[in-house]
Amino acid sequence: MTVTATRRNVLALTLALSAGLAVVGLGALTVGGVHLPLTEVWSGLRAAGSSAEATIIVREIRLPRILLAMLVGAALAVSGTALQALLRNPLADPYVLGISSGAALGAIVALWIGGRVATASPLVAFGGALVTMTWVYFLGRRAGRLASYTLLLAGVITASFLSAVILFVLTLLSTRDVRGTAFWLMGDLSVVTETQLGILIPVVGAGIAVLYGFAKDLNVLLLGEEEAAHLGVNVARVGTIVYLLASLLTGVAVSVSGAIGYLGLLVPHLGRMLVGNDHRTLLPTAALGGAIVLVLSDTLARTVVAPAELPVGAVTALAGAPVFIYLLRRTAG
């Protein structure tokens, strides 16, 4: 299916998906250790309910976590979509390519050195993502061209190497206030502070908005770098900006949630099936779809084995890895 990219269609699509996200968000607020009916969720949200307990559960426990899932989901899905266009590879994803691991390592190092400076961790995670992306990009380039499988292998190997470094550093830091290996390597949305949300909301919002300005250039890039250049796109400039934005989105997301995998693969793929490959419709679909999918995944993660919790990355990997294999087999021909 394809939704023709016109101003009206994009607006309608965005509204429809936003409504879907609101429904999923409200639903997720009702689910948990204590089931809250919608009426109580609503009064809890307005802090006008009869029970103070419901207000605390809704506003202080569930809402921040769900907002975090929305922001991280949107950031990772949009980052994956942009990387797939730039690398012209439907299998590109910040996690598979090792970029999330680079960001996680950056965040850990920042927590180690920077300690309590709230902006240090997302900032250095952005740097880690950028360095890893540059590294994998140059490893994946053969004779001036991007070799699809070389790139993927370079990413996978880099991810595994960086995971080992993360384990090493975390072992050294075991006495410090740095979260555990499951958090950094699999991703987890269970702890979030207001400060973190305060950083995430403007950065993710602005990152996606700026990226959207390049939507039509990304379309032309899907045709190939040479074709894009002949259609008047400054490929080097657009490429650099989009790489920066994809790294930024991945970096800030990973710094607060760890390396949640496959979302940047799963969601864009669903989006392509739903609206087609025009980035003017695909990017908003990926952003809102990523938010929806991660809220759903996290709701599953915290309820499916209650009272215990799964890291959300386990849920996204269970759904995403089969999609990766499917895409790998389909593009192999």
Partner 1 sequence: MGSWHNSAPRQREGEGPLEARLQVENVAFRYPHFELSPTSFEVRPGELVAIIGPNGSGKSTLLEIASGHLKPLAGCVRLDGVDLHRLPARVRAQQVGLARQETILLFSFEVREFVRQGRHPHLGRSLFESADDERWVDWAMEKTSLTAFAGRRVLEISSGEFQRAVLARTLAQRPRLVLLDEPTANLDIGYQIEMLRLVRQLAASESFVAVIVTHELNLAAELADYLLLLEAGRCLAQGKPEQVLQSGLLSRVFRTPVVVDRNPSSGRPRVTWVAP
- Site residues (vs partner 1, CB under 8 A): 2, 4-7, 84-85, 88-90, 148, 212-213, 215-216, 219-220, 222-224, 226-227, 229-234, 272, 276-278, 280, 331
To the nearest whole angstrom, how small is the minimum distance from the Cβ of residue 136 to partner 1?
Answer: 18
Contact 256, 196 (CB under 8 A): yes
Q: Which is nearer to partner 1, 81 or 158 (CB)?
A: 81
To the nearest whole angstrom, how small is the minimum distance from the Cβ of residue 235 to partner 1?
Answer: 9
CB neighbour list of residue 229: distance below 8 Å, 6 or more residues apart: 235
The token pair at 299 is: 């709701």
Q: Which is nearer to partner 1, 179 or 216 (CB)?
A: 216
Q: Which is nearer to partner 1, 115 or 213 (CB)?
A: 213
Q: Which is nearer to partner 1, 54 or 220 (CB)?
A: 220
To the nearest whole angstrom, how small is the minimum distance from the Cβ of residue 153 to partner 1?
Answer: 17
The token pair at 154 is: 């370079």
Separation between Cα atoms, residue 303 and residue 180, nearest integer Å:
21
Q: Which is nearer to partner 1, 180 or 224 (CB)?
A: 224
Separation between Cα atoms, residue 128 and residue 132, nearest integer Å:
6
Burial status of residue 147 (CB atoms within 10 A of its CB: 0-12, 13-18, 19 or more) = middle
Q: Which is nearer to partner 1, 90 or 94 (CB)?
A: 90
Q: Which is nearer to partner 1, 44 or 207 (CB)?
A: 207
Q: How far is CA 278 from CA 77, 78, 145, 271, 300, in A?
A: 15, 13, 24, 10, 31
Contact 3, 275 (CB under 8 A): yes
Separation between Cα atoms, residue 223 and residue 219, nearest integer Å:
7
* Token pair 């996290």 in the structure block, residue: 298
Q: Which is nearer to partner 1, 18 or 277 (CB)?
A: 277
To the nearest whole angstrom, how small is the minimum distance from the Cβ of residue 236 to partner 1?
Answer: 11
To the nearest whole angstrom, how small is the minimum distance from the Cβ of residue 98 to partner 1?
Answer: 21
To the nearest whole angstrom, how small is the minimum distance from the Cβ of residue 56 to partner 1?
Answer: 44
Contact 67, 197 (CB under 8 A): yes
Separation between Cα atoms, residue 3 and residue 42, nearest integer Å:
34
The alpha-carbon radius of gyration of the chain (Å, integer) is 20
To the nearest whole angstrom, how small is the minimum distance from the Cβ of residue 288 to partner 1?
Answer: 18
CB neighbour list of residue 121: distance below 8 Å, 6 or more residues apart: 107, 110, 111, 114, 255, 256
DSSP character at residue 145: E
To the nearest whole angstrom, how small is the minimum distance from the Cβ of residue 31 to partner 1?
Answer: 36
